[in-house]
Amino acid sequence: MVQKPAFAGFQSIDGETTDADFEDAWRRAIIFLGSATNDELLDDSLHPHELLFRLFSEDGVRAFDSSPFAMKCRCSADRVQNVLVSFPREEIEDMKIGEDVVVTCEFCNVDYRFDADHIDTIFKEAASG
Ligand SMILES: [Zn+2]
């Protein structure tokens, strides 16, 4: 997997690096990665750094320390409430399923359920500032 960082207007050795240079470099990275064979990608005995060097030695390879990868969503009941109170009250009433408002986080698929009393309370709190 390759990830494209945001272009931050860095400078190359021979002068200013433009958006177009950056896009070129990105296309090259995609093409080089695409040239890796399935055997290389699945080879346990091939260290990832070695594969990087094979693919990108022409451009120079710098490996950073790895960081753990975790699925984390920053949603919370508080955040969802804050979104709910930003809507007109009538729209919230329309969202009700039975007595409850259920909001599903689009990122992590967690459901937040608020009953009618809870909805009343958060709107009263919001109205009183
Ligand atoms: Zn979430």
Q: What is the pLDDT of residues 13-48, one digit of tens each?
A: 566 677 888 888 889 889 998 999 999 989 999 998
Distance 64 CA to ligand 1 centre (A): 29
Same domain? For 55 and 103 the reply is no
Same domain? For 38 and 84 the reply is no
pLDDT digits (tens, 9 = 90+) for 99-126: 899 999 999 999 999 999 999 999 999 8
Distance 98 CA to ligand 1 centre (A): 23
Same domain? For 52 and 100 the reply is no
Which residues are CB-contacts of 73 (< 8 A; sequence separation ≥ 6)?
A: 105, 107, 108, 110
Tokens of 94: 């329309």
Distance 114 CA to ligand 1 centre (A): 16
Q: Is residue 95 part of a domain?
A: yes
Report how far residue 6's alpha carbon sits from residue 120's, in angstroms, rounded to the nearest whole number.
Answer: 43
Same domain? For 99 and 49 the reply is no
Q: Is residue 34 part of a domain?
A: yes
Last residue of a domain, one of 67, 86, 101: 67
Same domain? For 86 and 108 the reply is yes
Total domains, the chain: 2
Q: Which domain holds residue 84?
A: 77-127
pLDDT digits (tens, 9 = 90+) for 47-79: 988 998 898 888 888 888 888 878 789 999 999
